[in-house]
């Protein structure tokens, strides 16, 4: 691909506040976007994410009411996704989830598991201090989901589809709503971030960013 063309797609992408309700993203294009999320990398390869596509009108309405950051986006978007992240129950080094993932998804030989688990323990406990609290390891899990979030927004932009990530919601209220619907797998999943996809209705303000030399430092 050409660099100039890629940079153009990065400039095209903006946090779209309102989508064109009459121009729906094709399901095939949306599945392509999700596929780039699926193919995203994550720490120790554990894919600690789930993508909920909220199409049920009642549920969407309930979520909309507690999401001030999605006032214009949720009702107009073609697709409304809640990205969930796996909690300590699944992402702590000695979880059943990781064990199963190593064997069934990554196909590691069972006799290596002990050694791998020891390495992950040291990584989580000693290197990054991830086990200070349930929240610190959950936040680590969320960090991985932001890789998938980024890739989905970038891939969308590369085929001309707009998006808006949404962090502006009442976390506890959204948690309660999803939990009541049984969507959090008994505490194995919790909310990371929301993201909406559609087509813009109007052109955004010009993009603002700090100059290159303020954010890049070369240590020679």
Q: Binders of a copy of itself among 127-166, rule CB under 8 A?
A: 127-129, 132, 135-136, 139-140, 142-144, 146-151, 153-155, 158-159, 165
Our CB check for a copy of itself shows the closer of 76 and 155 to be: 155
Q: Residue 85: enclosing H or E segment and its boundaries?
A: strand 79-86
Q: How far is residue 16's CA from residue 11's CA, in Å, rounded to a whole number?
A: 13
Shortest CB 41 distance to a copy of itself, Å: 6
Angular region, 33: left φ>0, alpha ψ -120 to 50, beta rest: alpha
Q: In whole angstroms, how close is the CB of 2 to a copy of itself at the nearest point? A: 8
Tell me how many residues contact a copy of itself (CB under 8 A): 81
- Which of residues 76 and 141 has its CB atom nearest to a copy of itself in the complex? 141
| 202 vs 220 by CB, closer to a copy of itself | 220
Q: How far is the CB of 147 from a copy of itself (least distance, A)?
A: 4
The phi, psi pair for 15, rounded to 5°, reads: -75, 95
Nearer to a copy of itself by C-beta: 15 or 113? 15
Rounded Cα distance between 133 and 220, Å, is 38
Among 112, 180, 181, 204, binds a copy of itself (CB under 8 A): 181
Whole-number Å distance between alpha carbons of 64 and 71:
7
Shortest distance, position 22 Cβ to a copy of itself, whole Å? 22
Which residues, 28 to 87, sit near a copy of itself by CB under 8 A?
29, 31-32, 34-41, 43, 45, 47, 49-56, 59, 68
- Report the 10 Å Cβ neighbour count for 167: 11
Residue 109, both tokens: 């030989």
Cβ proximity to a copy of itself: between 76 and 152 the closer is: 152
Burial class (CB in 10 A: 0-12, 13-18, 19+), 4: exposed
Residues 86-125 that bind a copy of itself (CB under 8 A): 105-107, 123
Q: Give the residue, chosen from 109, 111, 202, 212, that forms a contact with a copy of itself under the rule CB under 8 A.
A: 212
The three-state DSSP-derived secondary structure of 36-48 is HHHCCCCHHHCCC
């Amino acid at each position: 691909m050409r660099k100039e063309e890629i940079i153009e797609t990065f400039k095209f992408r903006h946090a779209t506040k309102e989508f064109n309700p009459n121009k729906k993203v094709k399901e095939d294009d949306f599945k392509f976007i999700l596929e780039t999320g699926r193919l995203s990398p994550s720490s120790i390869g554990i894919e600690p994410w789930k993508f909920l596509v909220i199409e049920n009108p009642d549920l969407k309405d309930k979520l909309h009411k507690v999401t001030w950051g999605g006032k214009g986006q949720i009702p107009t978007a073609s697709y409304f996704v809640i990205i969930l992240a796996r909690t300590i129950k699944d992402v702590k080094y000695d979880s059943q989830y990781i064990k199963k993932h190593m064997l069934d998804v990554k196909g590691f030989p069972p006799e290596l598991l002990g050694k791998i688990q020891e390495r992950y323990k040291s990584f989580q406990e000693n290197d990054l201090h991830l086990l200070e609290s349930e929240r610190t390891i959950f936040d680590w899990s969320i960090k991985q989901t932001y890789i998938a979030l980024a890739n989905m927004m970038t891939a969308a932009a590369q085929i001309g589809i707009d998006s808006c990530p949404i962090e502006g919601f009442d976390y506890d209220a959204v948690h309660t709503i999803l939990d009541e619907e049984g969507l959090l797998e008994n505490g194995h999943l919790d909310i990371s971030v929301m993201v909406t996809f559609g087509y813009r209705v109007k052109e955004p303000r010009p993009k603002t960013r700090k100059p290159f030399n303020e954010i890049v430092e070369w240590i020679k």
